[in-house]
Chains A and B, each alone.
Chain A
Amino acid sequence: EADIYQTPRYLVIGTGKKITLECSQTMGHDKMYWYQQDPGMELHLIHYSYGVNSTEKGDLSSESTVSRIRTEHFPLTLESARPSHTSQYLCASSEGREGEVGNQPQHFGDGTRLSIL
């Protein structure tokens, strides 16, 4: 069982609020990821990190930002939430370092279901 935790599990909040979605893993993985998933659709990578102080944007453009100050922690922030941000956000981590081909499985958290009114 993978040890990766996301909070909150559900969040309903009004437009314009600042939101931070938390993600923590206890496996010591260097690589971490944020995905966005809408019902019936594939996961889209929005951010990833190879390690501390490393963050990159993914395939899907997102107005969110991320930080990686500690290995185990990879929070995602929306400065001003809008209804278009309503979605499920999944955090994942995997073994391996930058420069290694990514054949290791990604371990996913249970996601945050975000609804912006």
Chain B
Amino acid sequence: KNQVEQSPQSLIILEGKNCTLQCNYTVSPFSNLRWYKQDTGRGPVSLTIMTFSENTKSNGRYTATLDADTKQSSLHITASQLSDSASYICVVSDRGSTLGRLYFGRGTQLTVWP
């Protein structure tokens, strides 16, 4: 069964600190992995996309890593800001269908305190 597991479920950090969110998946055949940010009351917004051949990708203070052998990804947030408070969702796409079916994790709820 294709699954996406995220940890931790929730995380509280102080403003300015770094944090790392984890994503493990069993989706096969693998196409790509995206991290989405979902602010409260809003729809998810794509942060990064990782394909099979990519190990790391940065988008400002967000850095995503991918280990396709162990089927693990992480999202590292540097120098956190209050606006980083959101749910971060790991989404894996398979290449077994033309729809590019997406498998969603339950998200990590990040809270940044001043």
Whether chains A and B associate is: yes
Complex alpha-carbon distance, A101 and B94, angstroms: 9
For B95, give its contact among A101, A111, A113 (CB under 8 Å). A101
State whether A48 touches B49 (Cβ < 8 A).
no
State whether B43 touches A45 (Cβ < 8 A).
no
A46 CB to nearest B CB, Å: 13
Interface size class of B (residues with CB under 8 A): 20 to 34
A41, A42, A108: residue with the most chain B Cβ atoms closer than 10 Å:
A42
State whether A106 touches B106 (Cβ < 8 A).
no
State whether B45 touches A108 (Cβ < 8 A).
yes
B103 CB to nearest A CB, Å: 8
Question: Which stretch (A14-22, A63-71, A79-87, A92-100) binds chain B?
Answer: A92-100
- Those of B53-100 within 8 Å (CB) of chain A: 89, 93, 95, 97-100
For B42, give its contact among A43, A103, A110 (CB under 8 Å). A110
Interface size class of A (residues with CB under 8 A): 20 to 34
B20 at the interface (CB under 8 A from A): no
Complex alpha-carbon distance, A43 and B4, angstroms: 12
- Those of A100-117 within 8 Å (CB) of chain B: 100-111, 113
By a CB distance below 8 angstroms, the chain A residues around B51 are 103
State whether B43 touches A90 (Cβ < 8 A).
yes
Complex alpha-carbon distance, A83 and B107, angstroms: 25
